[in-house]
Structure 1
Amino acid sequence: MSGKSMELQSTASMEMETRTSTSDYTNPCPICLGPINQSSYLDKCFHNFCYNCIVQWTKVVSGKRSCTLSSIKCPLCKTESSSIIHGLDGHNFQRHYVNPDFQDSFILSKAHRYRLQCYYTEPGFLNDIFDVQRYWKLQKYLQANQWLEVWLKRELQALIQEEDVDIIMHHFLGLINSFFRRNEPEYQTETPELKRKRFSQTILDAAKPFLSARADRFILELELFLASGLNIEAYDSVYLQRLGWNKPIVPSVANEEDLGLKSVTPYLYIFDCDPDDGD
C-alpha cells in the first residue's frame, strides 16, 4: 500500500464509505435535513451526521442533565456512543468525546501493563520458541486464528492507552484477513519470504498513523502471536515465563524442554509497578 489511500475494511468502515458515496441530497443529515457537511459518525452505531449538528446535539442533551455524561444516545437508534468520529480520510481520523475527560480515564490493567512493557524488551528473544519463518513456509496463515481479534484489541488498548479502539482493531483485522485470503495467481506463486515482506509492509502502512514509532515492533509482536498458534492465556504464559516475571504453567502443546524456556531480563524498564503486583 504505497501512495494510495488505505480503505478501511471493517464492516463499520465499509458502511461509512457507502454512506459518504451516496448523494448528500438522497441521504441528508438526520438532524438538519440538509446536505451533510463535514461527515461524522457516532462510534458505536456509525450513523452519519453533519459534524456541527451532532456536536450541538450532544451539548443540548448534556445540558439537560445535572451530571456530566460520558456517552450519548444516537438520535436515530438510541445506541450509546462515547465519541464522534470525524475527519476520516482512509489514513487517520479525529475523535470528539462527549466528555472531554473520558479520553484520559482509561486505566491500564495488569495485562495491559505487561503487554506495553514487552515493547521495551530486546526484539527477537522469543524467536527460538515461535518459528515465524516456518509459519509462512507451511502456510499456517490459511488457518483462521480465532483469538486474533481479542489479542489485537488488548494490544491496541495498551499501546494507544484508550479503551475504545474497536474501529482501529477492525481496520487491522480486515486488512489481515483480506491479505491471507488473497487468491490471485501471481500471489499464489510468491515465495514465503516475499509474502511475509508484503504482509509486514501492508500492516506497517496501516499501523504508523496510530502507533507511530511502535509500529515496527507491533509487526514483530503480531507475527509472534500468529506463529504461536496459542490462545491468549497460553501465549501470555510462555511470554511471561521467558521474561522471568512469574512461574506460569507451560501450555500442554509442548513441554518446557521443547520450548527452551530460559528466563531473560528486559534491557529497559520504565514502569514503577512490578508486573507481578496486583492491579
Structure 2
Amino acid sequence: MEEDATIEEKKLVSPDSEDSSCCCPICLGPFLQLSYLDKCFHKFCFNCILRWTKVVAGKHRSVSSSVKCPLCKTENFSIIYGVDGSCFLRHYVNEDFVDSFILSRAHRYRLQCYYTEQGFLDDIFNISQYWKSGKCYQPNCWLERWLRREIQALVQEEDVDIIVHHILGVVKAALWTRREQKSLTNAPEKKQEEIKMSISEAARPFLAARTDRFVYEIQIFLASGMNIEAYDAVYIQRLGWSSPGINTEVSQSELIDRTTVIPYLYIFDGDPDENE
C-alpha cells in the first residue's frame, strides 16, 4: 500500500507545468471523467483521485473525513464529478460525513420560513421599487453570508461552498457589472425576469421544489438593504416568532439537545404558528 502511494507521488505533475491544464496530474494522461476536489478545485481523473484517497486512507488507522490534495496539501472532504453545467455528483471521502451536519437555531428558523405564506413582507420591502430605483446596481456585501446560511438550511449540509459561489457568480454577472447595469436602466422589469430565471436555473439542481421560493427570498433580502441581523429582526417580528439569534455556530448545549439531521426528513420541534 505504501509502495503504491510512493509511485503515485512520483507521477504527480507540478500545478505550474504547461501540461497540467489538460492532463491528469496523477496518471499524466487526458482527463477521464473529470473531477475536482471540493476545497482547492484541483482537477483529476475521477478514478485516479478516488484511488489516491483510498491509498492515503489505508495508511491511517483511524477513519478520516478529509484527505489532503496531492498537489497543494489542502484538506478536502469530497470529490466533485459528473459536472454537466447544471448539476454535479459528489463522493465523500468518508460517507458518514454526509449526515454529520446539525442545524443551528438560525438554520432552523430559515428553514421554517419556507413553510410560511410568501409575500407577507412585500409591504415593507418593495421588490419592484428595488429594481426600478437602481439599488440593484449596488453590490451587497452581506449576500454571500446570507446565501451560505440559506443553502445550508435548505440542503442540510455544511459544505455548500460550490453552490454558494455558483449562485453568487450568477448574481454578480447579471447585476454587478457595468455592462449589465447599463442594460438594466432600459427595461428593469424585463431584466428582473431574466435575472430571476438565471438564478432559478442555477439553484434548481440543488434546491429542487424550493427553488421558486428561494428566488423570492433572495430578492426580498436584497431589496431590504439590511445586514443579516437587522433583516432577521424584521422578518421574525412580522412572523411573531421568538428570535433564534443569527449565530450559525453550534454551541455545546445545542449539541446535547439535538440529533443529527437526516436530509429532507427534518421534523420541527414546535409549530411556529403557536407563537402568533
- Shorter-normalised TM range: 0.7 to 0.9
Structure-2 residue corresponding to 1:58 = 53
The alignment partner of 2:65 has SS state of: coil
1:169-205 Cα offsets, whole Å, 9 max, x none, are 0111111011112526982453222121111111111
Which residues of structure 1 form unaligned runs of 5+? 1-18, 250-268
Change (3 A) 1:98 1:195: same
Q: What amino acid sits opposite 1:229 in the alignment?
A: G
CA distance in 2, matches of 1:154, 1:186: 31
Q: 1:28 to 1:191 in 2, by over 3 A?
A: closer
Matched, 1:237 2:233: yes
* Match for residue 143 of structure 2 among 148, 152, 155: 148
| Worse-superposed segment, 192-201 or 180-189 | 180-189
1:200 aligned to 2:199?
no
Gaps of 5+ in 2: 1-14, 246-265
1:99–1:243: structure 2 CA closer, same or farther, 3 Å change rule?
same
The alignment of Structure 1 onto Structure 2 pairs a total of residues equal to 235
Residue 225 of structure 1, CA deviation: 0.2
Q: Matches of 1:56 and 1:155 in 2, distance apart?
A: 34
Contact persistence 1:157–1:165 (CA under 8 A) = yes
Aligned-residue Cα RMSD (Å) equals 2.4
Identity %: 63
Provide, for residues 43-79 of structure 1, a one-character-per-residue CA deviation record: whole Å limited to 9, x for no partner: 1111111100110111111111111110000011100
- For residue 96 of structure 2, what is the amino acid of its counterpart? D
Which residue of 1 is the match for residue 106 of structure 2? 111
Is 1:43 equivalent to 2:38 in the alignment?
Answer: yes
Which of 242, 246, 251 is matched with 2:242 structurally?
246
> 1:68 matched to which residue of 2?
63
State the AA in 2 paired with 1:48. Answer: K
1:83 and 1:97 in contact (8 A); partners too: yes
Deviation at 1:273, TM superposition (A): 4.3
TM-score (norm 2): 0.80
Q: Partner of 2:152 in structure 1? A: 157
Q: Report the residue type matching 1:29 in the other structure.
A: C
Distance in 1 separating the partners of 2:111 and 2:181:
39
Q: Residue 183 of structure 2 corresponds to which residue in structure 1?
A: 187
Higher helix proportion = 2
Contact conserved, 1:86 with 1:95, CA < 8 A, in 2? yes
Moved over 6 A (4+): 23-26
Amino acid at match of 2:233: S
- Residue 3 of structure 1: aligned partner: none
Tell me how far apart the structure 2 counterparts of residues 215 and 24 of structure 1 sit (CA, whole Å).
Answer: 40
Matched to 1:214, the amino acid is: R
Distance 2:165 2:243 in 1: 33
Alignment partner, residue 12 of structure 1: none
- Asked if the contact 2:33/2:82 (under 8 Å) is kept, the reply is yes
